[in-house]
Each structure stands twice: as structure tokens, then as C-alpha cells.
Amino acid sequence: MRGFEEVMYAALALMVSVIVAYIFISNINFPTYSVSKPIESMKTSLELVDYGIVYPNTLVIYLRPTSPVNISNVIIYINRQKAIVKKIGNTPGDIVDPNKGDLIMVSLDNFQGNSVDIFVSGYNLQSRSFSINLEEKKPITPTNIATYFYRIPITIKENSGNNLTDYQVNVIVNTQNLILQGKMRYDCGDIRFTYVYPNGTEVKIPYWIESGCNTQNTKIWVKVPSIPANRNATIYIYYGNPFATSESNPNSVFIYFDTFDDLSKWSTYRGSSCTSINIYNFNGNNVVGLSVSGGTADSRTWCIIYNLTVSLPSSFKIDVDVYTDNIVDTLPYFNSITGPFYVFRFDARGSYYDLIGYYPAGATSTQVIASTSIVSSKNIWYHMQIIRFSNGTWYLYKGGDLYSLGTLEASVTHTTTTSGYLGLTGDGATGTTYFDNLIVRKYTSPEPSVSLGNEETTFYYPS
């Protein structure tokens, strides 16, 4: 019996050992947890990417989840105030997937102070709190976040049969809609443009927001490096970086651009009849004024401002606002005070007509090469437009704007002088002439057409 009992005890001990080992191994290989309440170690956490103040006082924070998370499950408090939480990314629906570059943008308006206490919670998220100090990086520069979240492809079609280089193209964008969706800064400061070369290389290009930010018709000019004849070129408009500040710059886009806040771009010539060349405030707007008294047809008696550093191309368009009680002359292909240059004139003396003229080198008066039957009125602002094509044909228009031509007054083909710079003058016996809003750009006809494609989500910094 003793031997049988010993065998039974040994068998029972073995069975207990097997059961304990099974339970131990099962717990190692197959942990159990509640599906409705994940254990903390398996929850998603959020990592701080960047932060800063967006003018005037909106705090913006970017967070990246460690694994995909539903944006509707994310709850964030900043200094005990519930913040606005938004998905930024390309993944469909509400899923924020870090593997696809998605981020979470958190914002709080009317933020005051420098200390930021952040509390993160939500389903399947690790509850977490952390603090940041805005004084350490305020304001954030665009390169800190190094990304623009959206872009739209823009197709530019060449219609004139000419190869165009560094051509100024007007693009109309509905920025109001993008701002309402929270995709663009309220001041359009995060707009950028790029050009795509045929080999796929993409480069940033200059732009100028002329008018209409936060409207359905925002007018923007871009300088496009190359548009092949009768073919298409592609540019992109980027936006969606709340830390970016505007790079809009008309001087980088146009051949000449001046609203005459000063005369820093010009040399001045005061002839024997010139009494003053000054910047004036005209109904709240700065203009340049040139005054003469007792002048003659000889250019050596005039007031002239001119630029001998930026040459005009073979085809161009000049837009300028003019006002005079005398004679106003714009002088394309200006080479010297004593010529040669061309003369595009609005004449308000009452008994003379507007004209296109040519002033040969060393002359003492202007040769009329295209006359009109139009007399300009005194003390009225006119918009003057001058167009030259590479075949030497010139056009003078009155009225119009940057986008449309005014009334054609005269045209002529004249190729005696085919290069030069630009001058502006107050000519005639006695009076004052004012100029404002001068823009010179390349020109062809018909001009390129522009079409916008569909918005794309991107994470790219156009550097």
C-alpha cells in the first residue's frame, strides 16, 4: 500500500505541476484585456511636433499620433480651456494616420501669456499632460514646421505661338473659401507658388497679391520661368502653413513696379525750366510730381526721372496712372536726356492732340510718328497703356487696367531704336504732371490662359 500511495502522490504532484505550467505559459502567450477598455501600454500617444502664435493671438500646436487614431476621439485642453482639434492629412475620413504623414492641429483663439499647459485624453489615447513656454520659440518661422498642407495645380496654356520666359501671369483664386475652411491664413500670408520644369524639378517662383485677399476673386501675379509655344506649363499654389508670413513682392515679379513712395529707383534730371521733382500726397496717396515753368520743346529744359539699370525687353506693356494740366510723356527705350527715346503723350493744353513720337539723339524736339484727334482734359486721372511687340509695332491706349485694354488712340511700326530703358517727364511750357502705379511687364497676344485643378493634400515646403 505504501508503494501505491507514493505513486498516487507523485502522479498528483505531476498533474498539479502541469496545470500550473499551463496556466503560466498561457498567460505569457495570450494576455487578456477588455476590448472596450484597452490597457494603457497599448494606447496611442501623441507627440509634440511644433507650436507657435499665429497673428494676432491664436495658439496653434501640431501633434503626431504614434499610431492611427480617430480624430473624433481626441480631446485636448489648453490651460483648462477646451481647444479646437482638427485633422491635417491625406487619409480619408476621420482617421489620422502618422504613416501617411497625417497630423493633428490644435488651436485656441484669444490666447494670452507664454505658459501653455496641455492635457490630452480620449478613447484609446494615453492620457497625458505637458507644458511648453512660448518665449523659447516665438514667433515660429516657416522652416520650423517645413510644410504646407495643401496645393492646387495650375495649368498655363500658351496661346500666341511664342516661347515665353519669365512671363508675368495673372491667377484668380477663391481665397475666401479656403480661409473659411481653415486651410489658409486669414491674411493669405502662407501662399506660395512653384514652377515644375519638364524634368520634374520644382522650384519656388515670385508672386504678388495685387488685391482681394479673403474674397472669391483674389488677384495674384506670378512670374513663370518658361511657357513653351502652344503648349502648357504647370505651376502650383501652396497654402496651409499658419506660421508662414507673406512673401508677396511685386518688385520680384515685374520689370518695373513703383507706387512712388520715394524716388529710390530713379535718377532725376532738372532742366532749365524744371522747378521741382517731388513726392506728393495726392488725396491720401503718394505720387511723383514734376513741375515746369517756361519750358520748350527741347528735352534739355524738361523735368525727367529715368532708370538706366533695368532695360526693357522687345515685347512689353506699360501701365501707369497720369494726371496733368500740361503735358504728360512716358518715354520707353529711353537712352539719354538728349535721346534717343520714344514719346507717348497725353496733351492737356487744349489745342494739341495725344500722340506717339520719336526723339532722335541730339534733337531739340519730338518727331510725331502717329497722331490722334484726341485732346486730353486737364486735371483728370487717366490710365495710360503702351504696348510694343517684337516686330516694332507700338500701341497707345487710354483707359483699361492691368487685365484689359483701354481705347486705342494710335499705333505705328517704328524700329529706329530697339532697346533702352524707361523715363517719365513733365513736358511743356508751364504746369505739373503726376505719375502713380507704374507697372511694366512682358506682353504677348493673345495672353496665356489659366485653369486651376483640384486641391491636393501635401507635406512639402517650397524652398
Comparison of pLDDT for 298 and 241, the residue scoring more? 298
How far apart (Å, rounded) are the C-alpha atoms in residues 241 and 49? 14
Spell out the domain ranges in the chain.
40-138, 148-253, 256-442
How far apart (Å, rounded) are the C-alpha atoms in residues 445 and 441? 13
* Secondary element (H or E) of residue 247: none
Residue 148 CB partners (closer than 8 Å, separation 6+) = 190, 192, 238, 239, 240, 241, 244, 458, 459, 460, 461, 462
pLDDT average, residue stretch 435-463: 88
How far apart (Å, rounded) are the C-alpha atoms in residues 69 and 350? 77
How far apart (Å, rounded) are the C-alpha atoms in residues 366 and 354? 13
At residue 311, does pLDDT exceed 70?
yes
Q: Are 227 and 448 in contact (CB under 8 A)?
A: yes
At residue 20, does pLDDT exceed 50?
no
Q: Is the dihedral of CA 310, 254, 399, 263 positive or negative?
A: negative
pLDDT of residue 39: 40
| One-letter identity of residue 84 | I
At residue 23, does pLDDT exceed 50?
no
- At the top level of CATH, the class of 256-442 is mainly beta
Q: Which long-range contacts (CB under 8 A, 24 or more apart) does 294-297 make?
A: 294/429, 294/430, 295/271, 295/427, 295/428, 295/429, 295/430, 296/429, 297/364, 297/365, 297/366
At residue 154, does pLDDT exceed 50?
yes
At residue 139, does pLDDT exceed 80?
no
> How many Cβ atoms from other residues are within 10 Å of residue 112's Cβ?
7
pLDDT of residue 383: 98
From the list 286, 3, 48, the residue with the least C-alpha distance to 144 is: 48
Average per-residue pLDDT for the chain:
87
State the pLDDT confidence band at 111, using cuts at 50, 70 and 90: confident
State the pLDDT confidence band at 140, using cuts at 50, 70 and 90: very low
pLDDT of residue 5: 55
How far apart (Å, rounded) are the C-alpha atoms in residues 241 and 185? 8
Q: Which CATH architecture has domain 148-253?
A: Sandwich (2.60)
State the pLDDT confidence band at 141, using cuts at 50, 70 and 90: very low
Q: Are 349 and 376 in contact (CB under 8 A)?
A: no
pLDDT average, residue stretch 400-422: 97
pLDDT of residue 166: 99
pLDDT for 227-279, tens place per residue?
999 999 999 999 988 778 899 999 999 999 999 999 999 999 999 999 999 99
Q: Assess whether the previous peptide bond of 446 is cis (omega < 30° from 0).
A: yes
pLDDT for 343-362, tens place per residue?
999 999 988 999 999 999 99
Q: Among the ranges 95-109, 111-125, 158-172, which has the highest mean pLDDT value?
A: 158-172
Query: 40-138 with 148-253: one CATH topology?
Result: yes
> Dihedrals φ, ψ of 40, to 5°?
-60, -35
Q: Which CATH architecture has domain 40-138?
A: Sandwich (2.60)
Q: Which three cell numbers stand for residue 233?
A: 506649363
Comparison of pLDDT for 156 and 26, the residue scoring more? 156
pLDDT average, residue stretch 60-68: 88
pLDDT for 359-375, tens place per residue?
999 999 999 999 999 99
Q: Which three cell numbers stand for residue 276?
A: 521741382
pLDDT for 273-289, tens place per residue?
999 999 999 999 999 99
